[in-house]
């Protein structure tokens, strides 16, 4: 038996691994800055690391449905390619934000753009299928 969307499946696995990595970075930052759970504030350095993890979670809620809709309605390979851009964007976002809050903008754009494109591709295909 083969899986219908292997490329998007691999991107999904990579996105989950990325999220685990952001969680590990929060645990590391807790030790570094002396922030005991359940506190989520206290040092700006810790707060930036924490926001990277939370923003990644927030973005995953938009990205994953868009990825799978595009894989199913448009193309598994194209969805996965856009998914890889999303993953690179999250890494750029994290690295920039860890340094300074102003450093997050480029990575955010590399995250939101592929999600938006995936949604547009899916919507176009679904509307076309319904209308014709």
How many residues can be counted in the chain? 132
Q: Tokens 């194209």 sit at which residue?
A: 78
> Angle, to 10 degrees, between the axis of helix 6-33 and the axis of helix 44-73?
170
Please list the active-site residues: 31, 104
Helix (H) or strand (E) segment spanning residue 16: helix 6-33
Composition of the chain by helix, strand, coil, percent to 5? 85, 0, 15
């Amino acid at each position: 038996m083969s899986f219908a969307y292997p490329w998007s499946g691999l991107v999904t696995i990579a996105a989950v691994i990325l999220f685990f990595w952001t969680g590990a970075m929060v645990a590391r930052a807790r030790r570094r800055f002396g922030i005991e759970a359940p506190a989520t504030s206290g040092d700006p350095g810790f707060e930036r690391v924490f926001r990277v993890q939370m923003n990644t979670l927030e973005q995953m809620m938009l990205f994953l449905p868009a990825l799978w809709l595009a894989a199913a309605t448009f193309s598994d390979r194209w969805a996965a390619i856009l998914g890889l851009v999303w993953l690179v964007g999250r890494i750029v976002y994290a690295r920039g934000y860890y340094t300074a809050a102003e450093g997050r903008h480029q990575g955010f754009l590399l995250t939101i753009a592929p999600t938006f494109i995936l949604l547009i591709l899916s919507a176009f295909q679904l509307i076309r299928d319904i209308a014709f």
